[in-house]
Amino acid sequence: MPDPNSIQHRISTLTARLHHLNYQYYQNDISEIPDQEFDQLLAELQALEKVHPELALANSPTQRVGGTITKQFPTAQHKYPMLSLGNTYSEADLRDFDERVRKGLEGAEFAYVCEMKFDGVAMSLTYEHGQLTRGVTRGDGTRGDVVTSNVRTIKNLPLHLRETPAPPPEFEVRGEIFLPLPVFEDLNREREQNGEALLANPRNAASGTLKLQDSAVVASRRLRFFAYSFLSPERNVFPSHSAALEALKAWGLPVSDTWRRCTSLAEVLDFIHTWEKKRFELPVATDGIVIKVDDFQQQEALGFTAKSPRWAIAYKYPAEAGRTRLNEVHYQVGRTGAVTPVALLTPVALAGTVVKRASLHNANQIAALDLRLGDMVFVEKGGEIIPKITGVDLTARPEGSQPIQYPTACPACGTPLLRPGGEAHFRCPNDESCPPQLRARLEHYVSRKALNIDGLGAETVGRFAELALVRTPADIYDLTAEKLTGLERLGEKSIQNLINGIDASKQVPFDRVLFGLGIRYVGETVAEKLAAHYRTIDALLAATAPELAAVPEVGGVIAESLAAWATHASNRQLIERLRAAGVQLALTGEAPQAVSDRLTGLTFVLSGVFEQHSREDLQQLITQNGGKITGSISKKLSFLVAGDKMGPAKREKATELKVPIISETDLLAMIPGSTEPDSADEALEAGSAGDPEAAPEAFPPTPSGSPGKQASLF
Ligand SMILES: NC(=O)c1ccc[n+]([C@@H]2O[C@H](COP(=O)([O-])OP(=O)(O)OC[C@H]3O[C@@H](n4cnc5c(N)ncnc54)[C@H](O)[C@@H]3O)[C@@H](O)[C@H]2O)c1
Ligand SMILES: [Zn+2]
Task: Give me ligand 2 centre to Cα 389, in Å.
Answer: 26
Say whether both 338 and 462 belong to one domain: no
Q: Does residue 517 surpass a pLDDT of 70?
A: yes
pLDDT at 686: 30
Ligand 1 pocket member 118 (CB < 6 A): yes
The residue whose CA has the least distance to atom 38 of ligand 1 is 711
Domain that holds residue 467: 435-581
Say whether both 115 and 219 belong to one domain: yes
The model's pLDDT over 213-245, given as tens digits with 9 standing for 90+, comes to 778 778 878 899 999 999 998 878 999 999 999
Q: Which residues are annotated as a binding site for Zn(2+)?
A: 410, 413, 428, 434
Ligand 1 pocket member 681 (CB < 6 A): no
Strands (E), 615-691: 628-629, 639-642, 661-663
Q: Does residue 631 surpass a pLDDT of 80?
A: no
- Taking the C-alpha atoms of residue 452 and residue 117, their distance in angstroms, rounded to an integer, is 38
Q: Is 469 within 8 Å of 479 (Cβ atoms)?
A: yes
- Taking the C-alpha atoms of residue 32 and residue 51, their distance in angstroms, rounded to an integer, is 28
Q: Does residue 644 surpass a pLDDT of 70?
A: yes
Active site residues: 117
Q: Which ligand is nearest to the CA of 28?
A: 1
Asked whether residue 381 is domain-assigned, the answer is yes
Q: How far is CA 458 from CA 338, 538, 695, in A?
A: 19, 29, 13
Last residue in a domain, options 283, 299, 316: 316
E strand or H helix at 654, and its extent?
A: helix 648-656
Say whether both 257 and 176 belong to one domain: yes
pLDDT at 58: 85
The residue whose CA has the least distance to atom 25 of ligand 1 is 711
Task: Give me ligand 1 centre to Cα 622, in Å.
Answer: 29
The arithmetic mean of pLDDT across residues 489-496, rounded, is 89
| Gyration radius (Cα) of the chain, Å | 27
Ligand 1 pocket member 710 (CB < 6 A): yes
Task: Give me ligand 1 centre to Cα 711, in Å.
Answer: 5
Ligand 1 pocket member 27 (CB < 6 A): no
The structural domain count of the chain equals 5
Ligand 1 pocket member 713 (CB < 6 A): yes
pLDDT at 385: 56
Closest by alpha carbon to 439, among 409, 474, 463, 475? 463
Q: Does residue 76 surpass a pLDDT of 90?
A: yes
Q: Say whether pTM exceeds 0.90.
A: no
Asked whether residue 508 is domain-assigned, the answer is yes
Say whether both 355 and 484 belong to one domain: no
Say whether both 291 and 328 belong to one domain: no
pLDDT at 480: 93
Say whether both 337 and 235 belong to one domain: no
pLDDT at 711: 27
Q: What's the pLDDT band for 692 if we cut at 50, 70, 90?
A: very low
Please state the atom number of ligand 1 nearest to the C-alpha of residue 117. 28
Between the two ends of the chain, the Cα-to-Cα distance in Å is 39
Asked whether residue 304 is domain-assigned, the answer is yes
Closest by alpha carbon to 388, among 418, 358, 361? 358
Contact residues for 544 (Cβ-Cβ < 8 A; gap 6+): 563
The length of the chain is 714
Q: Which is more confident, 198 or 645?
A: 645
Q: Which ligand is nearest to the CA of 40?
A: 1
The arithmetic mean of pLDDT across residues 152-176, rounded, is 94
Task: Give me ligand 1 centre to Cα 83, in Å.
Answer: 10
Q: Does residue 316 surpass a pLDDT of 90?
A: yes
Closest by alpha carbon to 150, among 115, 123, 174? 123
Ligand 1 pocket member 225 (CB < 6 A): no
Window from 398-402, 527-531, 571-575, 693-697 with minimum mean pLDDT: 693-697
3-state SS of 674-687 is: CCCCCCHHHHHHCC
Closest by alpha carbon to 180, among 152, 221, 150? 221
Say whether both 641 and 526 belong to one domain: no
Closest by alpha carbon to 600, among 689, 705, 515? 705
Q: What's the pLDDT band for 612 if we cut at 50, 70, 90?
A: confident
Q: What's the pLDDT band for 499 if we cut at 50, 70, 90?
A: very high
The arithmetic mean of pLDDT across residues 538-546, rounded, is 92
Task: Give me ligand 1 centre to Cα 288, in Å.
Answer: 10
Ligand 1 pocket member 176 (CB < 6 A): yes
Q: CATH number for the domain including 640?
A: 3.40.50.10190
Ligand 1 pocket member 31 (CB < 6 A): yes
- Taking the CB of residue 316, how many other CB atoms lie within 10 A of it? 19
pLDDT at 16: 92
E strand or H helix at 262, and its extent?
A: strand 260-262
Asked whether residue 623 is domain-assigned, the answer is yes
- Taking the C-alpha atoms of residue 441 and residue 435, their distance in angstroms, rounded to an integer, is 10
Last residue in a domain, options 316, 331, 347: 316
Query: Which of 187-196, 341-350, 665-674 has maximum average pLDDT?
Result: 341-350
Last residue in a domain, options 396, 424, 443: 396
Share the mean pLDDT of the chain.
Answer: 85
Asked whether residue 420 is domain-assigned, the answer is no
Q: CATH number for the domain including 37?
A: 1.10.287.610
Contact residues for 85 (Cβ-Cβ < 8 A; gap 6+): 290, 308, 309, 312, 313, 314, 711, 713
DSSP assignments along 337-397, one per residue: SBEEEEEEEEEEEETTEEEEEEE--SHHHHHHHT-BTT-EEEEEE-SSSPPEEEEE-GGGP
pLDDT at 691: 31
The residue whose CA has the least distance to atom 15 of ligand 1 is 84
Q: Vertex 600, ends 597 and 605: CA angle to 5°?
A: 120
Ligand 1 pocket member 117 (CB < 6 A): yes
ipTM of the complex: 0.94
- Taking the CB of residue 341, how many other CB atoms lie within 10 A of it? 23
Q: CATH number for the domain including 231?
A: 3.30.470.30
Ligand 1 pocket member 33 (CB < 6 A): yes
Q: Which residues are annotated as a binding site?
A: 35-39, 84-85, 115, 138, 176, 292, 316, 410, 413, 428, 434
Residue 369: phi and psi, rounded to 5, are: -85, -10
DSSP assignments along 79-105, one per residue: SS------EES-HHHHHHHHHHHHHHT
- Report the Cα 569 to chain-centroid distance in Å: 39
Closest by alpha carbon to 184, among 57, 313, 284, 311? 284
Say whether both 297 and 242 belong to one domain: yes
Say whether both 460 and 335 belong to one domain: no
Q: What's the pLDDT band for 1 if we cut at 50, 70, 90?
A: low
pLDDT at 693: 29
Asked whether residue 301 is domain-assigned, the answer is yes
The residue whose CA has the least distance to atom 39 of ligand 1 is 711
Closest by alpha carbon to 32, among 584, 688, 705? 688
Q: Is 365 within 8 Å of 340 (Cβ atoms)?
A: no
pLDDT at 134: 97
**How many percent of the chain have pLDDT more than 90?**
51
Say whether both 273 and 195 belong to one domain: yes
The arithmetic mean of pLDDT across residues 591-619, rounded, is 79
- Taking the C-alpha atoms of residue 439 and residue 457, their distance in angstroms, rounded to an integer, is 12
Closest by alpha carbon to 77, among 32, 34, 141? 141
pLDDT at 387: 83
Say whether both 459 and 576 belong to one domain: yes
Q: CATH number for the domain including 380?
A: 2.40.50.140
Task: Give me ligand 2 centre to Cα 408, in Å.
Answer: 11
Q: Does residue 42 surpass a pLDDT of 50?
A: yes
Q: Which ligand is nearest to the CA of 426?
A: 2
- Taking the CB of residue 297, how many other CB atoms lie within 10 A of it? 14
The residue whose CA has the least distance to atom 9 of ligand 1 is 35
Residue 359: phi and psi, rounded to 5, are: -80, 145
Asked whether residue 681 is domain-assigned, the answer is no
The model's pLDDT over 266-289, given as tens digits with 9 standing for 90+, comes to 999 999 999 988 888 888 888 899
Asked whether residue 506 is domain-assigned, the answer is yes
**How many percent of the chain have pLDDT more than 70?**
89
Please state the atom number of ligand 1 nearest to the C-alpha of residue 259. 31
- Taking the C-alpha atoms of residue 132 and residue 148, their distance in angstroms, rounded to an integer, is 9
Task: Give me ligand 2 centre to Cα 428, in Å.
Answer: 5
pLDDT at 391: 86
Helix axes 435-446, 458-466, angle to 10 degrees: 150
Say whether both 446 and 491 belong to one domain: yes
In 453-598, where does DSSP find H-type helix?
458-466, 473-476, 481-484, 492-504, 510-516, 524-534, 537-542, 545-549, 556-567, 569-581
- Report the Cα 450 to chain-centroid distance in Å: 20
The arithmetic mean of pLDDT across residues 461-475, rounded, is 94
Q: Which residues are annotated as a binding site for NAD(+)?
A: 35-39, 84-85, 115, 138, 176, 292, 316
